[in-house]
Amino acid sequence: MPEIAIPKSTISKTAGIRRPHIVVRIFQALKLPVNDPFAVAGLVIYLVFVVAAVFADQIATHDPTEILYTPSYDLAADLRPGQDGFLMGTTSLGRDIFSQLVYGSRSALLIGVTAAFMVALIGSIIGLVAGYFGRWVDAVLMRLADIAFGIPFLPFVIVLAAFLQPSIWNVVIAMALVLWRDTARVIRSQVLTLRTRGYVEAARVAGSSDFKIILRHIAPNILPLSFLYGSIAIGWAILTEASISFLGFGDPDSISWGYMLQDAFASQALAKQAYYWFVPPGVCIILVVSAGFFITAVMKTSFSRS
């Protein structure tokens, strides 16, 4: 009987007594670091905000847009934290800051995740097509990327948001239209190296269709990289949304951290020294965005190592 050479590592993995839990395997497949303290801290922060977003209705003490009154029927405006039972105080219009903060995590995550998904998806597809087909397809797509690099992003979002109906999706659309460029360039160069690998050549010689080769052999290998760039885009999206809302081009009907900051700034919160109003939304943004940085920084090092 001919001997089949199996690398030792493969044997020990498949013959292991217990397969790792499905969550652990997904983490491993996406190269999510589970043993780095910073990355774990990042994941925990994400988890907290996801819980806040999902259970916002239960966690929030008030309707974030409702104008509230004190027990003595005065407008509950500019109350300090703890005053009249308002956990983190109220805005100048008498809205509950804590509740706004909780609901803010909902729009932050919604925008962050959808924008990141769009950016990663579009960037990966363009990078894949450019890298795989090469020649004029590559030349055209990469010139498009150059053009996207020439567009000042924030001004572009502002103009777009001004022309379209005010909506939280403007940021997502603008990001999808402009920020695919970074992902596309990285994915393209990755595909260029993958294309020269033996098994891709072999599949091509064996007559596999381009579609099949991309789907079977190339896409799985760039998935972790797409995921990395998607993760980076989450922070970008949240910061961009905050800027746009702060400048007054956001959706007036949805409560976001950027909107809260705009409200505070416009209501003289700085002069009133109402730190309890404008500090927490900023801290929330920092927490979510830096959580993403911690995770992606560790992911990047594990990429450069492999």
Partner 1 sequence: MSNFKAVGSRLLQLALVLWAVVTILFLMFRLMPGNPMAAYIDPTFTLEQQQQLMAQFGLDKPLWQQYLIYLGNLLQGELGQSFRYREPVGQRIWILLPNTLILTFSSLIIAYAFGILAGAYLAWRRGSWVEQAAIPMVLTTRAMPEFWLGMVLLAIFSFSLGWFPAGGTRDPGAEYSGLLDLYTSRDFLAHLVLPAATLAIYSQGLPLLLMRSNMLDVMKEDFVTMARIKGLSNWTVVVRHAARNALLPVMTSFAIAVGYQLQGNVVVESVFSWPGLGRELVNAVAASDYPLAQGAFLMIALVVILMNLLADMLYAILDPRVSHA
Give the interface with partner 1 as residue ranges (CB under 8 A): 38, 143, 146-147, 149-156, 158-160, 162-164, 235, 239, 242-243, 246-249, 258, 261, 264-265, 269-271, 273, 275, 278-279, 281-282, 285-286, 289-290, 292-294, 297
Q: Report in angstroms how near the CB of residue 187 gets to partner 1 at its nearest.
A: 21
| Identity of the residue, 29 or 139, whose beta carbon is nearer to partner 1 in the bound complex | 139
Q: Report in angstroms how near the CB of residue 294 gets to partner 1 at its nearest.
A: 7
| Identity of the residue, 134 or 282, whose beta carbon is nearer to partner 1 in the bound complex | 282
Rounded CA gap, 295 and 39, in Å? 4
Q: Is 269 helix (H, G, I), strand (E, B) or coil?
A: coil
The secondary structure of residue 75, as a DSSP letter, is B
Question: Which are the contacts of 228, defined by CB distance < 8 A and separation ≥ 6?
Answer: 31, 296, 299, 300, 303
Q: Report in angstroms how near the CB of residue 125 gets to partner 1 at its nearest.
A: 21
Task: State the burial class of residue 59 (Cβ atoms within 10 Å of its Cβ: 0-12, 13-18, 19+).
Answer: middle
Single-letter residue type at 250: G
- Which of 158, 183, 188 has its CA nearest to residue 258? 158
Query: What are the beta bridge partners of residue 96?
Result: 90
| Identity of the residue, 185 or 217, whose beta carbon is nearer to partner 1 in the bound complex | 185
| Identity of the residue, 222 or 233, whose beta carbon is nearer to partner 1 in the bound complex | 233
Q: Report in angstroms how near the CB of residue 108 gets to partner 1 at its nearest.
A: 11
- Which of 131, 151, 156 has its CA nearest to residue 142? 131
Q: Report in angstroms how near the CB of residue 119 gets to partner 1 at its nearest.
A: 17
Rounded CA gap, 115 and 302, in Å? 25
Task: State the burial class of residue 253 (Cβ atoms within 10 Å of its Cβ: 0-12, 13-18, 19+).
Answer: exposed
Query: What are the beta bridge partners of residue 69?
Result: 75
| Identity of the residue, 89 or 235, whose beta carbon is nearer to partner 1 in the bound complex | 235
| Identity of the residue, 71 or 150, whose beta carbon is nearer to partner 1 in the bound complex | 150
